[in-house]
């Protein structure tokens, strides 16, 4: 009996990451997902996947902590080799650009950008020869944000690094692509008033907020053989909100 391929999803217990974890389990992957501050949602994802006949495991990893990321690299599942790597974790604190402190910038860059690169570095020796990777960035990486300049900068760095990595590992048969979501119904929008939410909906040509499942479907496609000739791309999934 052939074992199921392994997918590693950082930040896989909530929001977009949880939807990706569920989708990849349905696609036939065993899912190793990381969380940082919220263990219960991550364990609920694991339980749901197992109850559906798949297998999953949640591990606590603060991607801004070099030591915790290092432990991920020696996790027993790494010996199975990793077929799919989804770098989805991130932190976002709304701070006006002109009020941003250097400590806030360093914290965000450490978690969102350096943490993602660090995860790649420790997992890279365990990647399958034809492994595929998806980096979850943001429309803000190219659009910018007056109240999230540090977040936008971290995602821009992440996107450019991912495209550079695609050029480097392409000859090995590995693929790297970037997903840049727009408004998605996650914790980032949870504090919106009804008025603010309706305002967002009206801004989107498709007249709805995106769902985690929308994003997970795109990740599923990018990992599939249907996307075998796609690498180094940035796929904007925002309902027409932003057209770069």
In terms of phi and psi (left: phi > 0; alpha: psi -120 to 50; beta: otherwise), the region of 176 is beta
Residue 109 near residue 154, CB atoms below 8 Å: yes
Hey, what are 206's tokens?
């498709």
Q: How many Å apart are CA 8 and CA 82, to the nearest integer?
A: 7
- Give CA 203 to chain center in angstroms: 24
Sign of CA dihedral 123, 125, 127, 132: positive
Hey, what are 201's tokens?
């909906």
Residues taking part in catalysis: 151
End-to-end CA distance of the chain: 46
Residue 138 near residue 184, CB atoms below 8 Å: no
Residue 61 near residue 10, CB atoms below 8 Å: yes
């Amino acid at each position: 009996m052939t074992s199921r391929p392994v997918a590693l999803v950082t930040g896989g217990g909530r929001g977009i990451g949880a939807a990706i974890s569920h989708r990849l389990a349905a696609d036939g992957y065993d899912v190793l997902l990381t969380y940082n501050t919220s263990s219960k949602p991550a364990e609920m994802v694991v339980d749901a996947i197992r109850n559906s006949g798949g297998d999953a495991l949640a591990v606590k990893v603060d991607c801004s902590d070099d030591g915790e990321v290092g432990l991920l690299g020696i996790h027993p599942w790494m010996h199975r080799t990793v077929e799919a790597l989804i770098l989805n974790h991130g932190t976002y604190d709304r701070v006006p650009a002109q009020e941003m402190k250097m400590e806030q910038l360093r914290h965000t860059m450490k978690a969102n950008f350096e943490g993602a690169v660090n995860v790649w570095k420790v997992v890279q020796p365990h990647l399958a020869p034809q492994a595929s990777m998806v980096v979850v960035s943001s429309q803000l990486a190219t659009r910018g944000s007056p109240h999230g300049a540090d977040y936008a900068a971290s995602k821009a760095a992440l996107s450019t690094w991912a495209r550079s990595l695609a050029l480097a590992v392409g000859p090995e048969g590995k693929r790297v692509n970037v997903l840049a979501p727009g408004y998605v119904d996650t914790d980032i929008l949870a504090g919106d008033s009804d008025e603010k939410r309706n305002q967002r909906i009206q801004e989107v040509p498709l007249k709805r907020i995106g769902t985690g499942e929308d994003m997970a479907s795109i990740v599923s496609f990018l990992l599939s053989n249907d996307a075998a000739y796609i690498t180094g791309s940035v796929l904007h999934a925002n309902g027409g909100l932003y057209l770069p």
